[in-house]
Amino acid sequence: MEFELRDVVIEITKICNLKCVHCGSGCTDILGRELSIDDWKGVISSLAELGARRIIFSGGEPTLKSGIEELFSRIISLGMDYGVISNGFSMKDGMIDAFLRYRPFAVGFSVDGQEETHNRIRQNNKSWQNCMESIRRVKSAKLPVCIVTTVNRWNYEELEGLASLADSLGAECWQLQLTFPAGRARDQENFLINEGIFADIFEKIVRFRKEYPNMKIEAADCFAFAPEGMIRDDAWFGCQAGITSIGIDALGDVMPCLAMRAAATCGNVKDIPLKKIWEDSDKLDFNRRFNPNLVLGNCHDCQVLLYCRGGCGSFSLSSNGRFHDAPFCYFRDELRKKRR
């Protein structure tokens, strides 16, 4: 195969115990139509056959999916790794026991501000308190913890405190990502950042990486291109959607990235073999058959276009209605500064 599948993000359920302002999926009620645990076992076996290395469970709230422990067992038995991203609102003892039996590469917790801001975003006044308790219990079990912060106008000024908090909690890593104009956040202009805020966040990440050398601090793909080592440990080779990664939602719909949702559905695993979707879907061609001559908008004449391919496909699509048009970019900002 020309493209090697490595990472898969699975929206294991849309069931959730919170109603977060920035939720990308919206967590609409599709009970009775979600893939069953047996369905997912088949999907996981197909992913192993395709050579996938890591599966990340998202949602909804993945820990609420009854029987998910069976999937942890299947993944480990097939020689793959898995991780879970949770809101930490209700981490049951049984789930921690399952993590201990089938050890994940990380248990991720969404922490989106200091207590007041986090609770405001999560729309529950016990959300922050419960999440902190869940993190401490997972750390006490000697399991690796990753803090995930989705940055927006409400919380970007609290990043200093969050860096200190993540460090004090003993988190092995802290990932920062940007709020997309999708799902519940689509029409909330007072919630989304602008270019000036982006530049400020970028500079903070650079500084945090120096101030907290024992914690892996990295910017997600939505930050697009940056020199190696500046906001990530490794070099960034552009959006990997459809090249080394895919997303699968709770109904079994496959897409280049879970954040793309219905805009780029490649097919459903109940109707089409996953191998055929991965090898043949033309919805993956925006990255696989990238043509720089068709790029419009911010990135059309960029010096690193062939390398970057216009940044994160999901962020570009949700912001500008097309691929290869990064809303924010460190490289573009630096060029503007030099021209002044």
Confidence of residue 333 (pLDDT cuts 50, 70, 90): confident
Confidence of residue 29 (pLDDT cuts 50, 70, 90): low
Q: What pLDDT, on the 0 to 100 scale, is given for residue 182?
A: 86
Average pLDDT over residues 74-96: 97
Average pLDDT over residues 286-296: 95
pTM: 0.95
Q: What pLDDT, on the 0 to 100 scale, is given for residue 190?
A: 87
For residue 289, report the phi and psi dihedrals to the nearest 5 degrees. -120, 45
- From its phi and psi, is residue 11 left (phi > 0), alpha (psi between -120 and 50) or beta? beta
Q: What pLDDT, on the 0 to 100 scale, is given for residue 103?
A: 98
Q: CA 311, CA 309: separation in Å to the nearest integer?
A: 6
Q: Calculate the average pLDDT of the chain.
A: 94
Average pLDDT over residues 293-300: 93
Angle ∠(82,85,86) on CA atoms, nearest 5: 135
